[in-house]
Amino acid sequence: MKDMLQLDDNRDMDDTNFSQTVIAAVDTKAEWYDREALPALLDNYRLLHTCVKNIFDFLVKKALITADPYKVDKKISDIQAPPGTAFPESERATTIGIRLSDYESNVDFVCNYYKFSISNLTLANVKKLVDLNNSFAWSSFTPNSPKPNTRALAELVMKGRQSVDALTGSMISDSLSKGSAALVNINQSLKEITEFQKEYYKVQVRKNVFSHSGYDMNAASSSESEELAQIKKNFTAAMGKTPFYNELIDEIIREDHAPDKAELQAAVLSKLAVESSEKKKQEVKVDTKELIMSALRVFGAMPPQIDAAQQKLNENHALLQSEHNSLMDKLKRLLRKAFNIKEKPIFYMITITDTATETRRKEKINFQQFVAEIGARARRFSAVGVKGAPGYERMLVQPEEKILEFVSAQLAESGRMLKILAGLDDFFKQTVAPANKAKVKGIKMEITSLKNTVVKANQVRADYVAHAEEAEQMKKLGIENEM
């Protein structure tokens, strides 16, 4: 009898040791996810958003879809995938316009407001992300797709590409290709996170239920049925509203009681292993020329947004000027036209906000000049931001220092452009007559998309500078380094 008691004590000690070990392993893995894997997942979502926005703006500009008139009024507080049900062919432009708009808004929400942490990416929340990802099948983007959304959107994109210039066609192809690649990486990451979340859930049960005051560890260690009874008895008190997943609870019990529990425990710990940070990592050769050129390709995503903002600004400008339509104004316009007199520049006094210092100042803007400048900027980015374009090829033969100088200048100028766009957006909304306020077209969405692109380009530039400085330092130290 004494020997039997000693055997039970050893078994209990083994189970306790495993619980402590697996809890520590899950905590370490969760820290690794939060520090390394989840930021990479967010980067892939940002790339996907840029690609989706390019396609959306292209289709709106080609009048192939109808932009959602209520988009600005829709407030997103949680991920919700657009419907995937069938719809009449006659409603394709409107339906796909709304669904693609909702999809883009949700991805934008994920990029800018969603908390990427293991504690937030529960199994239920991962499912919401997967459902959102499945709204459009970018990896099998074909008019023959069995999914109504993908099939209709592919047909519209194919129709739109029949009459576009080479640069626009290349931009759409690039967006579809990169969007597909980003989504493959995203889905792979979510699949791995789902598997980890199962272990994370099981560890929360071990942490909270097993340590609850009402949990009888001796009874639970006696048999599988007793452990299940103890878990059920204390689950709600220890876990609150957390769902009771029968399959995962069964796994916990098998790991504690099954004849092959040693193998099951070893498999769990192997799955949770994180490569030691002390282990020497294999050096990866970085092509710094390609890295700085990739910053130029990021700029290539901006022309559609700039064009859309420019068009809305011109419409708002015309709306404001129409309020000054007296007989004298009409006579002046007729005289200028008759004598071919150049139109007098129109200046607007706008408020510029510096988000870094949270200061505001007034600035007089030559409207026609600014609109012409951003139009030239869009053309410049189309020329240098797409592989194979003449401007891109000319930049490719330049020294890296010259390309960096150009990228830095474009980032600075784009930052100023964003401030003026925001100022003009507020100016038109506040200045037009009350009767015309509903006619003003806001450009907040375009500004947000442009800002995301500028942030991405700046990140690439910073990566380049870091690699270039490290390589230069190694050179000064006389160390050969394949950077």
- Residue-wise pLDDT for 411-423, tens only, equals 999 999 999 999 9
Q: What is the pLDDT of residue 374?
A: 94
Residue 423 CB burial class (10 angstroms; 0-12, 13-18, ≥19): buried
Q: Is the pLDDT of residue 279 over 70?
A: no
Locate tokens 């980067």: which residue? 43
pTM for the whole thing? 0.58
Average pLDDT, the chain: 86
Q: Where are the alpha helices (DSSP H) in 339-439?
A: 367-384, 390-396, 400-431
CB atoms near residue 94 (< 10 Å): 14
Average pLDDT over residues 207-232: 93
Burial class (CB in 10 A: 0-12, 13-18, 19+), 89: exposed
- Phi, then psi, of 346 in degrees rounded to 5: -110, 125
What per-residue confidence (pLDDT) applies to 333?
62
Residue 11 pLDDT grade (very low, low, confident, very high; cuts 50, 70, 90): very low
**Could you tell me if 291 and 463 are in contact, meaning their C-beta atoms sit under 8 angstroms apart?**
yes
Q: How far apart are the first and last CA of the chain?
A: 68
- Predicted confidence (pLDDT) per residue in 306-352, tens digit: 999 999 999 999 899 888 766 666 666 666 666 676 667 899 999 99
Which residues are CB-neighbours of 104 under 8 A, at least 6 positions away?
Answer: 49, 52, 53, 56
Per-residue pLDDT at 280 exceeds 50: no
Element containing residue 352 per DSSP (H, E): strand 347-354
- Give the pLDDT band (50/70/90) at residue 190: very high
Task: Report the pLDDT value the prediction gives residue 417, as an integer from 0 to 100.
Answer: 94
Distance (Å, whole) CA 11 – CA 2? 14
pLDDT tens digits, 474-483: 666 665 444 3
CB-count exposure of residue 436 (10 Å: 0-12, 13-18, 19+): middle
In this predicted model, what pLDDT tens digit does every residue of 59-108 receive, in sequence order? 998 899 988 777 777 888 899 999 999 999 999 999 999 999 999 999 99
- Please report the pLDDT score of residue 321 as a whole number: 86
Residue 136 in contact with residue 103, Cβ under 8 Å?
A: yes
Give the integer Cα–Cα distance in Å for 309 and 446: 6
How far is the C-alpha of 281 from the C-alpha of 277, rounded, in Å?
Answer: 8
Q: Three-state DSSP class for 1?
A: coil
Half-sphere exposure of 337 (CA within 13 A, CB side): 6
pLDDT, residue 12, reads: 41
Residues 34/118, Cβ–Cβ less than 8 Å: yes
Predicted local distance difference test score (pLDDT) of residue 166: 75
pLDDT at 275: 64
Give pLDDT, residue 8.
41
Q: What is the pLDDT of residue 323?
A: 81
Reduced to 3 states (helix: H, G, I; strand: E, B; else coil), residue 35 is: helix
> How many whole angstroms separate alpha carbon 322 and alpha carbon 461?
44
Q: Quick one: pLDDT at residue 282?
A: 45
**Better pLDDT: 281 or 129:** 129
What is the band of 388 on the pLDDT scale with cuts at 50, 70, 90? confident
88: left (phi over 0), alpha (psi -120 to 50) or beta: beta
How buried is 43 (Cβ within 10 angstroms: 0-12 exposed, 13-18 middle, 19+ buried)?
A: middle
